[in-house]
């Protein structure tokens, strides 16, 4: 078995010694390296490579943000994590672009191991190394131009409000994903359970959001590309419908409040991989879309033929790198084939899978593609074959605005 290489970078020897002791139990699974400076880390990577780099922020010479920025340019497929005791806003803002996840010192062994193991585990979602590299370099997802301009104008206004800003972000897939990444970051000290993008914005605060959007530019305007059949407005309309349906199904099945909230967010983000592909590999996306139109295939079937993967796995990979909660990542990654997921309980994934099919059949938002099939093997494993009709009606009612 090939061991994954994890490289820790910190200018304090006692910190590195502590990490070495902390991670001794992982010696059979990971090849762990240590460097006392950014330059030393880059030298070790040139010699031995790395799958994950975990760096301190404040270091003499090349600091953590500069190091990870350089790693992103030279080794784009590498997973990049900041582990630091310094959480001043200026440092955070500089590190947002090149950093996938942020952890605060002191960090207990279990959290550190779990974060790294989870990030490494995502690699099985994608076999194509070049696609991993493309996704790993994404630090902002493209937003609907009208909403991008609207949020910039609102934040520059003298009477801007969190409510208005939150409402704008709630209408956009890319903005929602990025805000959830930030609000799940340890650097911002926010509780992990977030119900809606509006709540996420209120917890981050208007000053932080303003700095993130206007100075750091964590949102980017969608550049119109020649992708026949790709419509970002249709994508968002479909996503909102799936979020409503998934939430309604999970609520009716009396899942706990957190699972219901996760179902809503997962539904809103389930097709985020389509944005990633459109922005990252537009020619391949175009080829897949033309295949859908020519052969009447499902989008995921055409993507598999062209790319060897689908927007579901791509979206799950990115959101997992960004540290979003497992139930959301799983629901996004496996929403077309939930039987591939390890979990076998009714969950947000169940709601998103059913709601996606229902919304597609109602609105023809597949842009000419065939509607995906229900994963009957998954329903059988849940002993839920007889509940599909009821679930579909719950989702239809929610998608049509009939309440949840």
Res 143: pLDDT: 85
The radius of gyration of the chain from alpha carbons, rounded to an integer in Å, stands at 21
- Overall average pLDDT of the 226-237 stretch: 80
Reported as a pLDDT band with limits 50, 70 and 90, residue 231 is confident
The residue-averaged pLDDT of 200-226 equals 81
Beta strands in 10-136 (DSSP E): 30-35, 52-55, 79-84, 101-104
Residue 85, CA distances (Å) to 55, 56, 92, 264 in order? 11, 8, 11, 33
pLDDT for 367 beyond 70: no
Q: Which helix (H) or strand (E) holds 221?
A: strand 220-221
pLDDT in tens, 2-21: 789 999 999 999 999 999 99
Region 139-162: mean pLDDT is: 89
Which domains are seen in the chain, by residue range?
A: 4-125 (3.40.50.2300), 145-221 (no CATH), 232-399 (1.10.3210.10)
* Average of per-residue pLDDT values in the chain: 90
Tens digits of per-residue pLDDT, 111-145?
A: 999 999 999 999 888 888 889 999 998 888 888 88
Over 90: is that where the pLDDT of 81 sits? Answer: yes
85-100 b/e with 16+ CB inside 10 Å = b? ebbeeebbbbbbbbbb
Residue 1, pLDDT score: 63
How far apart, in whole angstroms, are the C-alpha atoms of residue 350 and residue 355? 9
Cβ contacts of 297 within 8 Å, gap of 6 or more: 291, 305, 369, 370
H-helix or E-strand spanning residue 275: helix 272-280
Out of 163-177, 214-228, 355-369, which region has the weakest mean confidence (pLDDT)? 214-228
Q: Point out the least confidently predicted range of 60-69, 82-91, 168-177, 260-269.
A: 82-91
Supply the pLDDT for residue 185: 82
pLDDT over 70 percentage in the chain:
95
What is each CA distance from 364 to 89, 238, 359, in whole angstroms?
Answer: 45, 9, 8
Average pLDDT over residues 261-274: 96
Q: What is the pLDDT of residues 297-324, one digit of tens each?
A: 899 999 999 999 999 999 999 999 999 9
Burial of 397 (0-12, 13-18, 19+ CB in 10 A): middle
pLDDT tier at 366 (50, 70, 90 boundaries)? very low
Query: Which residues on adjacent β-strands are paired with residue 8?
Result: 34, 54
Helices (H) and strands (E) in the chain, counts: 21, 7
Query: Taking residues 252-264, what's their average pLDDT?
Result: 96
**Which residues does 247 contact at the CB level (< 8 Å), separation at least 6?**
260, 261, 263, 264, 267, 351, 398, 404
Whole-number pLDDT of residue 192: 62
């Amino acid at each position: 078995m090939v061991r994954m290489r994890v490289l820790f970078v910190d200018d304090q020897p006692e910190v590195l010694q502590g990490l070495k002791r902390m991670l001794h139990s992982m010696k059979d699974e990971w090849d762990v390296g240590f460097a006392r400076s950014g330059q030393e880390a880059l030298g070790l990577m040139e010699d031995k490579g790395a799958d994950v780099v975990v760096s301190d922020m404040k270091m003499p010479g090349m600091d953590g943000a500069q190091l990870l920025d350089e790693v992103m340019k030279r080794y784009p497929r590498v997973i990049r994590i900041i582990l630091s005791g310094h959480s001043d806003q200026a440092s955070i803002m500089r590190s947002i672009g090149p950093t996938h996840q942020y952890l605060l010192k002191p960090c207990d062994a279990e959290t550190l191991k779990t974060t790294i193991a989870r990030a490494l585990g995502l690699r099985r979602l994608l076999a194509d190394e070049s696609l991993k590299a493309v996704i790993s370099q994404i630090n902002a997802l493209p937003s609907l131009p009208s909403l991008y301009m609207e949020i910039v104008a609102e934040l520059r206004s003298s009477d801007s409000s969190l409510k208005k800003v939150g409402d704008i972000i709630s209408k956009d897939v890319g903005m929602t994903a990025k805000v959830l990444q930030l609000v799940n970051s340890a650097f911002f000290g926010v509780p992990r359970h977030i119900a809606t993008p509006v709540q996420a914005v209120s917890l981050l605060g208007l000053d932080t959001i303003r700095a993130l959007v206007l100075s750091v530019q964590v949102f980017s305007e969608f550049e119109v590309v020649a992708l026949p059949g790709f419509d970002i407005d249709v994508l968002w309309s479909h996503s909102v419908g799936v979020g409503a349906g998934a939430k309604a199904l999970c609520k009716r099945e009396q899942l706990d409040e957190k699972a219901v909230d996760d179902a809503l967010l997962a539904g809103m983000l389930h097709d985020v991989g389509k944005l990633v592909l459109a922005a990252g590999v537009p020619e391949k996306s175009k080829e897949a879309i033309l295949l859908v139109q020519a052969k009447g295939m499902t989008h995921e079937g055409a993507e598999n033929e062209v790319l060897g993967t689908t927007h579901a796995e791509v979206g799950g990979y990115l959101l997992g790198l960004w540290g979003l909660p497992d139930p959301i990542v799983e629901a996004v990654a496996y929403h077309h084939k939930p039987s591939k997921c390890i979990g076998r309980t009714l969950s947000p994934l169940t709601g998103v899978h059913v709601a996606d099919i229902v919304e597609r059949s109602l609105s023809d938002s597949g842009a000419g593609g065939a509607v995906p099939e229900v994963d009957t093997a998954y329903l059988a494993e849940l002993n839920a074959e007889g509940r599909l009709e009821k679930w579909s009606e719950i989702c239809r009612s929610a998608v049509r605005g009939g309440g949840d």
